[in-house]
């Protein structure tokens, strides 16, 4: 299936098919670190697309993380690439076939490709199944994964903000509630396992009670902590302090869940400089707030 190998300038490689893959920051950070140390190992795969304004536009179908890594490295200008000459439908099928062989594709990405073959290329689910060597039932199940998920969350999934496991759990909720559930879990620092438990809880209560649970997902998952939080000994001011401290803790959890140390290391100097200002302010504010509470305790 793979054709000739060329060394392509990264500025000429198109990511027209990128919406069919999900951006994975952790993996990009690892590959960036690897390419910085030892360079490119495996070639990317592109297809030649003839257009009116350009005779040879190369559309990427495999190696998106390698391309993102290359663009983050100042000394990488070209990438080794296998070049195929196939039509758009075959290119999308090749995206899956290559990654099936490597074991590097998620069910949601399969769903995005299958859906695109139906909506953008006009194939029936039966025809998509024949093209991908899968049953029509398989195609239908994959497409339903995407169609059940709110469009805003679909975009977060593509950008890597939302993880596939989180998307699968959110897709179990009615579409009208999915964004609110995702927002509540993010604000309260719920991880993937907690999200799954929270969705189970929401689905187990009447619809009219779900909005109340969204206000305090941590209390819903940990009733004991909820009872402790309602300690009658706390006055109004103390409860305000406690609420602010819990928001601070939730923010820290969110930072830890967003990415790994490798991801932080892959930030550009400009990004690090901008974030450094916010880090300095956050550190100063947190230290001052904690010191104020500690000083009151000492007294």
**pLDDT tens column, 60-115:** 999 999 999 999 998 999 999 999 989 999 999 999 999 998 877 888 899 999 99
Would you say the pTM of this structure is higher than 0.95? no
Greater pLDDT, 237 or 134: 134
Hey, how many other C-beta atoms are within 10 angstroms of the C-beta on 28? 21
**C-alpha R_g of the chain:** 24
Q: How confident is the model at residue 53 (pLDDT cuts 50, 70, 90)?
A: low
Instruction: Using a pLDDT cut of 90, give the percent of the chain over it.
Output: 42
Half-sphere exposure of 144 (CA within 13 A, CB side): 7
Specify the pLDDT at position 231. 58
Specify the pLDDT at position 116. 95
Q: Which of 60-69, 73-82, 118-127, 220-229 has the lowest mean pLDDT?
A: 220-229
Give the C-alpha separation, 28 to 260, whole Å: 11
φ, ψ of residue 190 to 5 degrees: the values are -75, 135
């Amino acid at each position: 299936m793979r054709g000739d190998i060329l060394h392509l300038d990264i500025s000429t490689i198109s990511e027209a098919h990128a919406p069919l893959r999900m951006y994975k920051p952790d993996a990009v950070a690892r590959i960036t670190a690897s390419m910085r140390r030892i360079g490119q190992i495996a070639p990317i795969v592109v297809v030649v697309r003839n257009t009116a304004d350009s005779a040879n536009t190369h559309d990427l179908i495999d190696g998106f993380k390698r391309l993102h890594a290359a663009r983050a490295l100042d000394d990488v200008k070209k990438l080794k690439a296998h070049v195929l000459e196939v039509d758009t439908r075959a290119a999308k099928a090749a995206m899956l076939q290559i990654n099936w062989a490597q074991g590097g594709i998620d069910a949601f990405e399969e769903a995005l490709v299958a859906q695109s073959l139906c909506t953008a290329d006009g194939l029936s689910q039966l025809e998509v199944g024949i093209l991908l060597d899968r049953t029509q039932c398989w195609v239908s199940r994959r497409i339903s994964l995407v169609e059940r998920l709110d469009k805003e969350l679909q975009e977060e999934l593509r950008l890597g903000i939302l993880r596939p496991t989180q998307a699968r759990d959110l897709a179990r909720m009615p579409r009208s509630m999915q964004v609110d559930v995702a927002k509540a879990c993010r604000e309260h620092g719920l991880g993937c396992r907690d999200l799954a438990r929270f969705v189970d809880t929401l689905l187990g209560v009447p619809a009219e009670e779900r909005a109340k649970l969204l206000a305090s997902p941590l209390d819903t998952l940990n009733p004991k902590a909820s009872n402790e939080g309602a300690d009658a000994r706390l006055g109004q001011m103390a409860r305000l302090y406690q609420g602010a401290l819990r928001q601070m803790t939730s923010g820290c959890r969110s930072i830890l869940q967003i990415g790994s140390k490798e991801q932080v290391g892959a930030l550009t100097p400009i990004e690090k400089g901008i974030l450094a200002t916010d880090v300095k302010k956050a550190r100063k504010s947190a230290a001052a707030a904690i010191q104020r509470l500690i000083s009151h305790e000492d007294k």
